[in-house]
Amino acid sequence: MKKRVFTSLILAATLAFTALTGCGNNAGKAAVGTQTVDDNDKKITVGATDVPHAQILNDVVKGILAEEGYELEVVTFTDYVIPNKALESGELDANYFQTLGYMNQQNEDAGLHLATVAGVHIEPMGIYSEKYTSLSELPDGAKIGIPNDPDNASRALDVLIQKGVLVSKGQYGEDATYTESSLTKDAEANPHGYEITPLDAANLPRSLSDLDIAVINGNYALASDLPSSHPALEIEEFTEETTVKRTNFLVVKQGNENSVKIQALVKALQSDEVKQYIEETYKGAVIPAFIGPQN
């Protein structure tokens, strides 16, 4: 969920204005919990960030829906606030860019009334290297880059533990300082003496040549074309709980979950064609996560 993407500035600005001023044609016309999507209208308008969301919609879903008699319009955004406001106001039928936690926070903070209808994909962290083709080649004292913000640093360390690079986080917990790592000198948690180097998450791909390996977020790996040039040595694994936490969902305004055309959109997004496209196009930097709606 996370991310800098390209968009049509004029269209986004128009939607931003109508969303923020409450001038959308559908805004306020129905109470929350009642269906406001017109199933007689065969056009479905979905807001999305560009990579991979809008790509998936345009390259695969649009064709599937056309066979069912629907026209899909994809509106791309560069931020996460405007597409939720546009959905709330009725300018969009759905949006596709966010996790459950973000949506719930937006509902609470901005007084929105949004609901998930389908999980589609996860952008996992991967362990990347320009020097090695396997973690078994990693020498003692190797330099390992991880993101320096607390949430992603903790997540990256979990990946390193999953893959046997580290034994534990040691004292490098939620309250630790992420600018310099106590974990480097923790012989129990880090028996091979790896030098753990926290860096800005967006800069990790550019710093890869100076590191032995780095744990990089899927969106930044895609933006740097790492899956093609240097495929991940290992990919983050997920439990049932973390799958729900990290999945990007298709979201609608409450009351529209069971609309005929929204369900057609769900079916298209969770199709075998989308699964194959994700696996072949993103090479592990994006993975399918077809799950149902979550509260």
- Statement: residue 27 has pLDDT above 60: no
- C-alpha distances (whole Å) from 10 to each of 13, 53, 201, 261, 262 are 5, 20, 30, 27, 26
pLDDT in tens, 97-153: 999 999 999 999 999 999 999 999 999 999 999 999 999 999 999 999 999 888 788
Q: Are 114 and 108 in contact (CB under 8 A)?
A: no
Is a pLDDT exceeding 90 seen at residue 14?
no
Query: In CATH, which of 3.40.190.10, 1.10.645.10, 3.30.70.3270, 3.20.20.80 is domain 126-236?
Result: 3.40.190.10
Rounded average pLDDT over 277-292: 94
Mean per-residue pLDDT of the chain: 87
61-103 pLDDT, tens digit per residue, is 999 999 999 999 999 998 889 999 999 999 999 999 999 999 9
Cα-trace Rg, the chain: 21
pTM for the predicted model, two decimal places: 0.77
User: Which H or E run contains 212?
Assistant: none
The domain 9-123+242-288 is placed in CATH, from the list 3.20.20.370, 3.90.1310.10, 3.40.190.10, 3.30.420.40, at: 3.40.190.10
- Pick the range with the lowest mean pLDDT from 8-12, 183-187, 244-248, 266-270: 8-12
Tokens of 273: 């064609």
State the pLDDT confidence band at 36, using cuts at 50, 70 and 90. Answer: confident
- Asked if the model's pLDDT at residue 168 lies above 60, the reply is yes
9-123+242-288 and 126-236 share one CATH topology?
yes
The 3-state DSSP class for residue 10 equals helix
Cβ neighbours for 119, distance < 8 A, ≥ 6 positions apart: 244, 247, 248, 249, 250, 289, 290, 291, 292, 294
Tokens of 24: 């959308």
User: What are the extents of the domains in the chain?
Assistant: 9-123+242-288, 126-236
Mention every residue, 6+ apart, whose C-beta is less than 8 A from residue 204.
145, 146, 147, 214, 215, 216, 220
Q: With a cut of 90, say whether residue 269 has pLDDT above it.
A: yes
**Averaged pLDDT for residues 166-185:** 70
